[in-house]
Amino acid sequence: MFAGTFASRALRRRPPSVPRMVPPPQRSQETPLAIGLRNLKKGEFERAIARFQALIASGDPQADAARGWMVVALLGQGHRSIAEDELAKLASDDLDNELLYDLGCAAEGAGLTRQALQVFSRIYLRNVSYRDVGRRIKKLETPMDDTTRTGLDPDLEAERMPRRYTGLALLSRGGMGVILTALDRDLNRKVAIKLPNIVQIFDAQREPVPFFTMEFIEGQSLDRALKASPGIDLRAALSIGRQIALAVECLHSKSILHRDIKPENVIVQRTGLVKLVDFGLALSEEWGRITQPQTVLGTPRYMAPEVIGGAAPDTRADIFSLGVVLFELLSARHPFEGTGMFPQLSVTAPPLKTVSSGTPRSLSYLVDACIDRDPDVRPASASRVAQLLTAELARAGGVPL
C-alpha cells in the first residue's frame, strides 16, 4: 500500500522545468574557400595561401579549387617556381571556367606561356566564345621575347656586388626581382639596391651583376596607413593624392608609364611627403605603342580594363590606377567590389559621392572620371588631375607640400 501510494505520487509529480535554451548566435555562412578568395581579392596573399593550404590538407571537396586559387595567390606573390609545381598537380577538368580564366591570366602575367596556353585551351574546348580566350590563345601562340625576368639569386648577387656597397641585406623579394639595402661608401648614405637594373637614380652598373641604387625612404606604405586609420581626413587625403598625381605627371613627362600604381607602392613619410616607388613594371610609352600588346602585368585590382583586355598601356591606364587609389583614400573602400580577380570588368563603381558623403561633388566627378571604363572619358593627363586636386586642397583649407 505504502509502496503503491509512493509510486502513484511519483507518477503525478511534475518533471523539473527545463531552462529555456537560447539559440547560439548565427555564425557567418561564408565558407573557408570564400574567405580565402576575399583575402586574395584584397591582395592579402599570405592569408589566402594559408586558407587554401588548410583546405587542401583537409581533403575538402573544394580542395582542387583551393589549389587553383592558391596558384593564383603564389603568382601574385612572385613565387613562380612553387606555383609551377602546384599547377602541375592541378586537375583542371574539375575547375569552373571563372577560376580557370583567372588562373590563365595569372600564369600569362607571370610569363608561364605554356601553362597559360593549357589553361585557356581547356576553357576553349568547353566554350569557344568564353570571354576573350580565343584572342589570348592566339596571342600566346605568337612567339615573343621575354626579357622582364631573370634568375638572380639575391644571396649570390650580394657576394658579387662592387666593394662600394657594404652591409648588404635582403629588404624584400617580389615577382619582378629583389631589393637589398646597403651602405654606399661613396655617398656615405644608406641606399636600396634593386635587381635587375631598371632606371639610374644614384648609380647603375651592368657588371658583374645588373643593378641600380636608389634613395632609401623612411616611412609607411599608404596601404598600411589606410589599414591602421581608414578614415583619413579630406585635407590629408587630398594632399597625398595630389602628390601621387604629381609623381605620375613627372613620369609621363619623360614618356614613362609606371603600370603598378597602388597603395603598397606609395610611401608616406612622417613629414607628410609622399613618394611613389617600385618601378619594376615601368615601361617607355613609345615602346608600349610600337610593340605587340604586352603581357598582362600589374596588380589585378588596380589595372585598367583595356590593359586586362590586352591593349597596349598608355598614360590613361596609369590615371585609372591613380583613380582607384584616390577612391580608396576618400572612401576607405575599393571602388570595384565583386568576385574574381578582375571585378572592374563586370562591376560598375558607385559614384564616389554616394559612398563618401563628405566628398565635394566636384572632387567626386574627378575621381569617377578617372576610373571610367572608357579611357577617353578619363582626364587627359596626370597634370590635369594634379591641378584639380591642388584646387580642391586649397578649397579645403590645406597647404600644398
State residue 206's pLDDT score: 60
Chain centroid, CA 328 distance in Å: 13
CB 244 within 8 A of CB 322: yes
Q: Which residues pair with 172 in a beta bridge?
A: 179
pLDDT value at residue 152: 43
Looking at residue 38, its amino acid is R
Cα(98)–Cα(12) distance, rounded to whole angstroms? 66
Rounded distance between C-alpha atoms, residue 50 and residue 45, angstroms: 9
CATH homologous superfamily of 32-140 equals Tetratricopeptide repeat domain (1.25.40.10)
State how far the alpha carbon of 339 is from the alpha carbons of 37, 39, 41, 98, 291, in Å: 8, 12, 8, 10, 32
- Is the Cβ–Cβ distance between 212 and 198 less than 8 Å? yes
Q: Please list the rounded mean pLDDT of every run of 10 residues in the chain (401 residues).
A: 48 51 55 87 85 89 89 84 83 81 85 84 86 84 43 48 66 52 74 46 60 65 83 88 88 82 87 74 45 55 85 90 95 84 83 90 92 92 90 80 63
User: In terms of Cα–Cα distance, which of 185, 191, 183 is closest to 167?
Assistant: 183
Residues facing residue 276 across a β-bridge: 266
* pTM (global) more than 0.75: no
Which long-range CB contacts under 8 A does 4-7 form with residues at least 24 apart?
none
Please indicate whether residue 146 is annotated as part of the active site.
no
Indicate the fold that domain 220-395 takes in CATH.
Transferase(Phosphotransferase); domain 1 (1.10.510)
Q: Which of 64, 260, 278, 318 is catalytic?
A: 260
- pLDDT at position 378 is 93
256/382 Cα distance (integer angstroms): 12
The pLDDT value recorded for residue 161 is 57
User: Would you list the domain boundaries of the chain?
Assistant: 32-140, 154-215, 220-395
Question: What's the confidence (pLDDT) of residue 271?
Answer: 80
